[in-house]
Chains A and B, each alone.
Chain A
Amino acid sequence: MSIIQVKGSGGVAGLERTSFVGARVPPEIRAMIKPLSKLDKNTFRSILKVITAEIQGIEQSFADLQPLLGETLTEDGLAVVYCGLADLVRRALKLPSSSLKKENLIQDLQDLQIPESFHEDLVALVVGSKRSQIDSCLENNRPRLPSLENLSWRTDVAISTGVLNRVLVRGVTMEMTLSDGSVKDFEMSVSKFQELRFNVASVLSEMEKLEKHSILKIKD
């Protein structure tokens, strides 16, 4: 009995591993392979540059790609290449660098029939020095509730009020500026402040316990 290695519609490089693009090659990527192979290296690099900037959240406009159009590259052709390449890059960057090893990446690119001359740039993007910067951008652009941008605070002793001549009660006043621009100000009694402080400390210790937990140590 012989072992049949199935290629073509799926990217199964070995018998255990699935290609980083998935079990089935997405249609956008499949469509771009042929037009991609007709491009020269510089054009490819320019397109890749625009895609990389876009992923990091820097807005790009069509004007950045316009100069590439010409005899060899029509607008439609450019659209197909851009979409396919962007999808390819996004999928490669989606996996943590610990999951997608360089050899496997190259193997997958070969299986997809991406021209060899383009491998270098793609590999540099996915596992190179700029990767951590890209990961930071992706992390910072995640959907989230507002963070605490700035905390201004004050401690006070209330000496006297309209209803009580001698009060001598301590209090804390806070002004929180959130990342969505809103400013919240409020005060609290000392006991309420202790409650806040206790809760923050509890969460911190829970977080530390969580980070030591085995679930975070699984290497995948």
Chain B
Amino acid sequence: MSATLFTASLSIKRAVALINEMDLNRFPLLLSRILQKLHLKEERTFSEEEEEKLQAAFGYTSNDLDLVLETLEFILQQAAYHTAKPAVLGEQLKQLEMNEDKVQKIVEAWTNGARNLVQKLKERTVHPNQLEEVKWRLNLQMAQASQSKVKRPNALFQLGVRSDSTGKKDNIRLEFTHEELYDFYNQLETIQKQLDSLS
């Protein structure tokens, strides 16, 4: 039993009609570009310049082009969301009355690009801060104002955390003595055991 990917709304019907009329030659290129950009949240699939060229190439108005692009994006997003089998995708597209030739191209593009896309979507998180980078430095403290001949090992860690919302990187700087580092290590080991039990 597979989910219904699409309901035949008015705009979808209109989009399918437009798609059916499209020149088949440039269709695969269109699809592969859409697939490439699908996992990115903010980026436009096509620049304004490119959209104007597409309008000219396909003979579309700006609105029509928007509708076609949005619908194709939607089709692929839904396929990704349900991790749909290519055959299922093909079936449901035919039910929308899309022409065989276009259906075939979409299914082909999906078959080739699905794994990559799903992988990228899996990596998308909602939490604002991500640990990006781990840097460290091992020092031997030789002295301080109040003590000479110290010889105390210490480790500096710099954890680069990227904020998803601002895009900025915050560097968390920590210092550990041997004992402190050992405690931290034990905590990480405990976390690892938990992760192991989840796999």
The residues of A with any CB-CB pair to B shorter than 8 Å are: 55, 90, 93-96, 99, 135, 138-139, 141-148, 151, 153, 155, 157-158, 161, 163-167, 169-174, 176, 178, 184-190, 192-193, 195-197, 199-201, 203-204, 206-208, 210-211, 215-216, 220
Contact = CB atoms under 8 A, between A and B. Distances in A.
B134 interface: yes
A135 to B, nearest CB: 8
A184 B146 CA distance: 32
B123 interface: yes
Contacts of B81: 163-165
Interface in B16-64: 39
Contacts of A189: 123
- Chain B facing A: main interface SS: mixed
Interface residues of B, number: 60
A199 B136 contact: yes
A159 to B, nearest CB: 11
Interface string B150-176: 111111110101000000001011111
Given A163-B124, A170-B199, A188-B130, A94 B148 contact: yes
Contacts of B123: 169, 189
Interface stretch (B7-15, B89-97, B180-188): B180-188
Given A197-B188, A216-B151, A161 B124 contact: yes
A116 B38 CA distance: 86
A197 B190 CA distance: 11
Interface string B83-119: 1000000000000000000000000000000000010
B195 interface: yes
Contacts of A187: 125, 127, 129-131
B134 A195 contact: yes
B161 A184 contact: yes
B138 A210 contact: yes
B103 to A, nearest CB: 23
A94 B146 contact: yes
8 contacts: A146-B175, A155-B191, A161-B121, A164-B80, A164-B122, A178-B174, A186-B127, A216-B151
A141 B157 CA distance: 20
B144 A158 contact: no
Nearest to B173: A145
Nearest to A141: B146
A210 to B, nearest CB: 5
B172 A164 contact: no
